[in-house]
Structure 1
Amino acid sequence: MVRKFKAGDRVKVKGGSDGPKMEVLKYIAKKEPIFGFVDRDTYVECVWYRNGERRSRIFHQNRLSKVMQLK
């Protein structure tokens, strides 16, 4: 699968208008549970801050959309 994001990209969860805007940290190697192969191009670790506390989570890249930044 083609990687959709790169480290530093700003993203949000698709369909979630009130969700946090996050930053992509890196792609994560994750073992596919049924067939057992390691997927290095599909899951991304994202970080965001809530009330001054850093949070992170791993998402499938298809659940995310890029946030456009004004320059």
Structure 2
Amino acid sequence: MMPRKFKSGDWVKVRGKLTTPKMQVLKYVSKKNPLMGWVDNNTYVECVWYKNGERKTEVFHQNKLIKTIDTGGLFKTFLTPPKFGVNLN
């Protein structure tokens, strides 16, 4: 059995993809292995993020995610104006 890499509230991104949103880990979810028939409770995490004010969730294998160093509120996107090419921050 694989140890859990994250905990609820951790900020993560999909490994190797620059354009993926920063997501927050909600919880580990049970996933049944179709070949072996056993249930895995320690490998898949449900993550949440917001896009255009819409709440999105998806389940990822923990090995596909990396922890992000910077953290930020989920509602940050509502407070900052849209960026058009030039980053003024």
TM-score, shorter chain, exceeding 0.5: yes
> Under a length normalisation based on structure 1, what TM-score does the superposition of the two structures give?
0.96
Structure 1 runs of 4+ aligned residues shifted over 4 Å read none
> Under a length normalisation based on structure 2, what TM-score does the superposition of the two structures give?
0.77
- Return 5+ residue gaps in structure 1 as ranges: none
Q: Within 1, Cα distance between the matches of 2:35 and 2:26?
A: 27
1:50-69 equivalences under 5 Å are 50-69=51-70
Number of residue equivalences: 70
Q: Which protein has the bigger strand share?
A: 1
Q: Within 2, Cα distance between the matches of 1:31 and 1:18?
A: 30
- Return 5+ residue gaps in structure 2 as ranges: 72-89
Higher Cα radius of gyration: 2
Percent of counterpart pairs with the same letter? 60
Task: Tell me what 2:19 maps to.
Answer: 18
